[in-house]
Structure 1
Amino acid sequence: MRAAVYRGPGEIEIEEVPRPQVESPTDAVIRVTHTAICGSDLWFYRGLSDREVGSRVGHEPMGIVEEVGEAVTSVEPGDRVIAPFAISCGECEFCRKGLYTSCEEEASWGEANGGGQGEYVKTPFADGHLVRVPDRHADDEDTLRSLLPLTDVLGTGHHAAVSAGVDAGDTVVVIGDGAVGLSGVLAAQRLGAERIIAMGHHEDRLALAEDFGATETIAARGETAVERARELTYGGANHVMECVGAGSAMDTAIDVARDGGTIGYVGVPHGVEEAGLDIHGLFRGNVTLQGGVAPVRDYAEELMADVVGGTLDPAPIFTKTVDLDGVPEGYRAMDDREAIKVLVKPWD
């Protein structure tokens, strides 16, 4: 089969690799019909995080079940399924409490499991991991585009809102105008926030944030942005969603949080250690910091119900679509901020 392979900073190549096979009774092999490039992929693409040269990349697959092991009962060949970015067994202590990202099995995409940006993937725990798409929506391309973000960014944005304690009537500040931040705006709107203030650096993305439910936007940078956010929230917000992961974004989150407020953080941390977390700002204001890597499997059915019901549509975050050969160009487009998020259709 063919799959995207990391060959060093700025270099993604499409190569022939072994196709994953059912080897265990709990395995399922999926033909990938839709997948995506994630903002977190840009960290290794830019050389800002470690990645083994020659490793397969991607973690957001959706597709058709091709083959299952003899112990699999929840899906069968021909089913359309979503495969959340964190592989989970569904049975360990952490999976049972909904913290699927801490699964004790520690399985991941890549190598024998295929890599999420390729023609096939394997999950070693089909019953604990896969989410079946209802048959009536399994071949509706518009619905499938809207369901694909359930593999990661939609659930991650929702986790930011839940971690920040967003509820009906609240005012919330969302930091970040990438796919996760925009999904966070959707999540805050879905949870009933009355005011949603989106902070970012790109006017076109902030315009999409308004389409998603943001009531105000801030495109300024640095202290000017903080001052504007504090002005709009009369001194700070009780609920702040940090959806970037950079040290500067975390500093902004702390600066715009009201005393006694809560920051829900889901951005993969980069540069936070070097910049130094403002623990004194958190301590002085009794600000709660809550969140982490999003257990999107825990939210999948809840969010899917709204997507297929037509009340939740994250599909506009996909501003570029490529086939498998176009994946290297997709990385470049996201790196150059020419695309918010790239949808990949390996078989087109």
Structure 2
Amino acid sequence: MRATLMYGAGDVRVETVPDSVIKHPTDALVRITASCVCGSDLHPYGSMKPEDGPVRMGHEFIGVVEETGSEVTTVERGDLVVAPFAISDNTCPFCREGLHTSCSHPQAGFWDGEPEEGGQAEAVRVPLADGTLVKLPVAPDSALIPSLLTLSDVLGTGHHAAVAGGVNERTSVTVIGDGAVGLLAVLSAKRLGAEQIILMGRHRARTDLGRAFGATDVVSARGDEGIETVRELTGGDGTHVVLEAVGHMPAYDQALGVVRPGGVISRVGVPQYEEAPVGFGSLFRHNIRLAGGPAPVRAYIEELMPDILNGTIEPGKVFDATTDLDGVPAGYRDMADRRSLKTLVKP
């Protein structure tokens, strides 16, 4: 079978690898029918050292179950399923609390970085299939597949940012970042009732989509100028909630500059820094709270799926490029160079 491997920064290859096979009675073998390149994949794409590779890539996919281990009971051969970006048993105390990204099962964890498995491939072995996989009530060629694929990560991550931040009809919101997660954080804030949603982004095609998803204002300026503009839009106070979907230190500084006293900064952009100011001169002085983290998207799939199935939301609009498996390396380049927002892969 063929799969995507990253050998180092800027070095992504599609190669023939050993076929994925069942290893544990709780595994399922899934033939992948749709996957994608994630904005978080661009972090190692820009910085990974050759000695750390190669690693299989891809943590967002939909596919058809081809085989199951003897202990799998919730899915069977022929089922179309979506997989969250975190493997979990869905039964441990953390999973029962809706924190699947902290599942305590020894086989739990994240897809990216696994040397043998990844979603940008023709097939994949799914550990803990009963807890991880969710059946989809559509055919593999459904027009809803792009939107349903966002349940594996970006929609659930945007929703998690909004939920962790406490977004509701009484909160004003700033979203920092016009990548797929940022845009779906806008959609999620709108879905939860926010009436003022300020999107901070610089790419017109993306911010136009953000407006379609519910952004009431767009601020293209960064740094002090961007902070001043947001505060002008909010009567000088800033917004109750800031959803930070970038992960770099300037984005955190920007979030700190636009959050209202007593507000919340909710981070879901994978942090590319080790320290951030949290002391008296930053968070403590104005009772600002810091929230967020890796999104337990498995906890949100059943809640979000009906709105996709009935057409209330169309998160699949974040895909602006489609390729086959051979085109994945070019998909990485185009996303890294900001020529595309998010690449859909159909093996």
Both proteins in one fold, TM over 0.5: yes
1:169-189 superposed Cα distances (whole Å, 9 cap, x missing partner): 431111110000001001001
Structure 1 residue 168: deviation in Å?
1.7
For 1:191 and 1:233, the matched residues in 2 are separated by 20
Q: Alignment partner of 1:6: what SS?
A: strand
TM-score by length of 2: 0.95
Asked whether the equivalents of residues 5 and 12 of structure 1 are also in contact (C-alpha less than 8 Å), the reply is yes
Aligned to 1:160: 161
1:86-125 pair list within 5 angstroms? 86-104=86-104, 105=106, 106-109=108-111, 114-125=117-128
What residue identity is the alignment partner of 1:76? Answer: E
1:190-211 superposed Cα distances (whole Å, 9 cap, x missing partner): 1111111100121221111001
For 1:49 and 1:296, the matched residues in 2 are separated by 29
CA, structure 1 residues 304+22, in 2 after alignment: closer, same or farther (shift >3 Å)?
same
What residue identity is the alignment partner of 1:233? Answer: T
CA, structure 1 residues 315+269, in 2 after alignment: closer, same or farther (shift >3 Å)?
same
For 1:49 and 1:43, the matched residues in 2 are separated by 12
Structure 1 residue 278: deviation in Å?
4.8
What residue identity is the alignment partner of 2:244? Answer: E
CA RMSD in angstroms, aligned pairs only: 1.5
Structure 2: 5+ residue stretches without partners: none
What residue identity is the alignment partner of 2:273? Answer: G
1:29-48 pair list within 5 angstroms? 29-47=29-47
1:244-255 pair list within 5 angstroms? 244-255=246-257
For 2:10 and 2:115, the matched residues in 1 are separated by 24
Structure 1 segments of 4+ aligned residues over 3 angstroms from their partners:
48-51, 110-113
Asked whether the equivalents of residues 8 and 50 of structure 2 are also in contact (C-alpha less than 8 Å), the reply is no
Structure 1 residue 132: deviation in Å?
0.6
For 1:261 and 1:51, the matched residues in 2 are separated by 42
Q: Does 1:80 align with 2:80?
A: yes
Percent pairwise identity: 52
What residue identity is the alignment partner of 1:118? Answer: A
For 1:115 and 1:219, the matched residues in 2 are separated by 35
1:47-103 superposed Cα distances (whole Å, 9 cap, x missing partner): 168982111111111110000111111111100000000011122221121110011
Structure 1: 5+ residue stretches without partners: none
Q: Alignment partner of 1:46: what SS?
A: helix
Q: Does 1:271 align with 2:273?
A: yes
- Matched positions, count: 342
Q: Alignment partner of 2:87: what SS?
A: coil
Q: Does 1:171 align with 2:159?
A: no
Aligned to 2:24: 24
What residue identity is the alignment partner of 2:126? Answer: T
Structure 1 residue 125: deviation in Å?
0.5
Structure 1 residue 324: deviation in Å?
0.3
Structure 1 residue 305: deviation in Å?
1.1
TM-score by length of 1: 0.95
Q: Does 1:128 align with 2:131?
A: yes
Aligned to 1:7: 7
